[in-house]
Amino acid sequence: MTMVCLTDFEEYAKEHLSKATWDYYASGADECCTRDDNLLAYKRIRLRPRILRDVSASNTRTTVQGTEISFPVGIAPTAFHCLAWHEGEVATARATEALNTCYITSTYSTCSVEEIAAAAPNGYRWFQLYVYRDRKLSEQIVHRVEVLGYKALVLTVDVPYTGKRRNDIRNQFKLKSTDEYGVPANTLDPSISWKDVHWLQSITHLPIIIKGILTKEDAKLAVEHGVQGIIVSNHGGRQLDGGLASIDALPEIVDTVQGRIEVYVDGGIRTGSDVLKALALGAKCVFIGRPAVWGLAYKGEEGVREVLQILSDEFRLSMALSGEFEMSGQVTKNEQRPRKP
């Protein structure tokens, strides 16, 4: 079948994955209001196109943390890729290497960080980190990924406890040696605080990016604590239900940061125009989670490549139709800033 848009991959994955696996990937917390609002929020935003701008040649390249990528869409950290495709994360790593973009490897990958690095030795990778109760365990992981050439640490801060995902409970979803809906029991430290950012800075030279910020107050603290980036994220609506859609939280965080550190966003991106909207609101790059898993379920590495290529093509077309032709750090914010009807 011809896959035309990301929804095609979603429908394929829903049909071909087991119910428990599909529910695990698709689920949000509680009533799934925030998960669904991540999508609806983009649909409420409107672009203001400019015309007669000579868009015969366009450039989608940008940089994140000083490294050039081919277009501003990367892969967000998502767990247990082997549930969707037998090669798991190594297929995802190869796909992102082929498209020359950023892959954030999850702490809860089903392939080791060594296997992922070996599968895509020239790929640009960050590592998503949780802080464990046993700090030595976290420290050992940090040193492993440093040696393997991962280029940044993405500290996820919105999981002091795992959100209540009803379908996972109903399905009794567990993997080997895991509990709490697929997360190893009693490993994450709910006492994590800003002092742990300083601790992390003391044990690594890698840039630290905080994932899970939704307010200007926390964005201000992130800048004050010397991190190198923020991923505006509500964990795909899988943690606190009733919180802000990520794209709705983005503008005040961008305004607070004032360019001092890079700001990214995930959650709800399904089209190239969604990417354009996020960049017009100030994001440097966006990250996709569930769509990457759908691509895996379709054709493994090839499926993830197709998902990324579709977004790249759609983004380039949306830029051109909006009168943009150049990625100068981000889409020209003053001219292209979306409005809400």
pLDDT tens digit string along 246-271?
Answer: 999 999 999 999 999 999 999 999 99
Check pLDDT > 60 for residue 229: yes
pLDDT surpassing 50 at residue 341: no
pLDDT (average), residues 211-216: 98
Mean pLDDT value across the chain: 93
Burial class (CB in 10 A: 0-12, 13-18, 19+), 9: buried
Confirm whether residue 241 is marked as ligand binding.
no
pLDDT of 331 higher than 50: no
**Does 243 appear as a known binding residue?**
no
Q: What is the pTM of this model?
A: 0.93
Q: Angle at the Cα of 150 (from 149 to 156), degrees rounded to 5?
A: 160
Mean of pLDDT values over 82-105: 98
**Tokens 């399905």, residue located:** 171
Q: How confident is the model at residue 225 (pLDDT cuts 50, 70, 90)?
A: very high
Residue in the block written with tokens 């649909």: 43
The per-residue pLDDT for range 177-205, each reduced to its tens digit, is 554 444 456 688 999 999 999 999 999 99
pLDDT for 14-65, tens place per residue? 999 999 999 999 999 999 999 999 999 999 999 999 999 999 998 999 999 9
CA distance 266 to 232: 7
Please state, for a pLDDT cut of 90, what percent of the chain lies above it.
Answer: 88
| CATH number belonging to domain 6-322 | 3.20.20.70
Is 24 known to sit in a ligand binding site? yes
81 is catalytic: no
Q: Is the pLDDT of residue 101 over 50?
A: yes
Whether the predicted pLDDT of 332 surpasses 70: no
**How confident is the model over 282-304, as pLDDT tens digits?**
999 999 999 999 999 999 999 99
- Residue appearing with tokens 């392939």: 111
Query: Distance (Å, rounded) from C-alpha 326 to C-alpha 55?
Result: 9
Is 226 labelled a binding residue? no
81, 143, 205, 235: the active-site residue: 235
Sign, Cα dihedral of 100, 102, 105, 106: negative
Measured CA to CA, the distance from residue 230 to residue 237 in angstroms comes to 17
Over the Cα atoms of the chain, what is R_g? 19
With a pLDDT cut of 70, the percent of the chain lying above it is 92
